[in-house]
């Protein structure tokens, strides 16, 4: 591994997009059969409710909606995207990747590269790093990177001491997304950002 500071001096975040499903799950619903109270969750975690995907709403659906918003915010057309990276622990299926499925749902027909990164919470940072490296070295000009979660209820009764942390903090569906692109020549020097 290389030591020292590294910086993407020709890469910038051009825009962002997001999507959350409309279905809301309250603490009361989550905790209906568990030995704790909704007030405890609010006090300890600050969570009152969370958005979750409907059974027929897949990771690629969340990715496509957030991706199209990021593309529009950047003033781009879908086919101007060169690379799509979806970070997810909940892919639609093993193959093709959720990124490829989202690519089709966004109407991107330019045969751009599209793949998933399975690194759970750190995946978004890894995705931005991977896309930044591809843009920095000139392989691609514009990329979409998103982290998608479409999680359902999973309570592990064999591990009661660990049951609540995963259930209460991970039980949600969301789709943040950003578009990265090569900086325009009039952008400030990298010293201002690194």
Is residue 7 domain-resident?
no
Across residues 76-94, what is the average pLDDT? Answer: 94
Overall domain count for the chain: 1
d(CA 32, CA 38): 9
Here the CATH number for the domain that contains residue 47 is: 3.40.47.10
pTM of the full structure: 0.81
Q: Cα(169)–Cα(154) distance, rounded to whole angstroms?
A: 12
**pLDDT(158) > 50:** no
2 domain-assigned: no
Q: In the 8-state DSSP scheme, what is residue 105?
A: H
Question: The domain containing residue 163 runs over which residues?
Answer: 13-183
Q: Is 190 inside a domain boundary?
A: no
Residues 6+ apart with CB under 8 A from 106: 64, 67, 68, 71, 78
pLDDT tens for each residue of 133-146: 999 999 999 999 99
pLDDT of amino acid 150: 64
Element (H, E) at 62: helix 59-73
Q: Kindly state the percentage of the chain with pLDDT values over 70.
A: 80
Task: Kindly report, residue by residue over 146-157, the tens digit of the pLDDT.
Answer: 988 765 544 333
Residue 191 located in a structural domain: no
Residue 124 has pLDDT above 60, yes or no: yes
In this model, does residue 100 exceed pLDDT 60?
Answer: yes
pLDDT digits (tens, 9 = 90+) for 23-74: 888 888 888 877 888 898 888 888 888 888 888 899 999 999 999 999 999 9
In a domain, 193, yes or no: no
Residues, the chain = 194
Residue 165 has pLDDT above 90, yes or no: no
Other residues' Cβ atoms within 10 Å of the Cβ of residue 49? 15
With respect to residue 114, please indicate whether it lies within any of the assigned structural domains. Answer: yes
Q: Exposed, middle or buried by CB within 10 Å (0-12, 13-18, 19+), for 3? A: exposed
Question: Is 1 a member of any domain?
Answer: no
């Amino acid at each position: 591994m290389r030591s020292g500071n590294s910086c993407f001096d020709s890469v910038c975040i051009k825009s962002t997009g997001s999507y959350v499903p409309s279905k809301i799950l309250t603490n009361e619903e989550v905790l209906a059969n568990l030995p704790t109270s909704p007030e405890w969750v609010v006090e300890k975690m600050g969570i009152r409710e969370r958005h979750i995907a409907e059974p027929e709403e897949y990771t690629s659906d969340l990715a496509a909606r957030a991706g199209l918003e990021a593309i529009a915010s950047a003033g781009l057309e879908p086919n101007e995207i060169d690379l799509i990276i979806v970070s997810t622990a909940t892919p639609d299926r093993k193959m093709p990747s959720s990124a490829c499925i989202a690519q089709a749902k966004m109407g991107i027909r330019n045969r751009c590269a599209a793949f998933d990164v399975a690194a759970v919470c750190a995946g978004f940072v890894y995705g931005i790093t991977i896309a930044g490296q591809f843009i920095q070295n000139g392989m691609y000009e514009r990329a979409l990177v998103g982290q998608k979660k479409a999680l359902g209820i999973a309570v592990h009764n064999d591990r009661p001491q660990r049951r609540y942390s995963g259930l209460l903090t991970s039980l949600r569906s969301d789709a943040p997304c950003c578009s990265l692109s090569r900086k325009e020549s009039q952008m400030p020097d990298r010293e201002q950002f690194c």
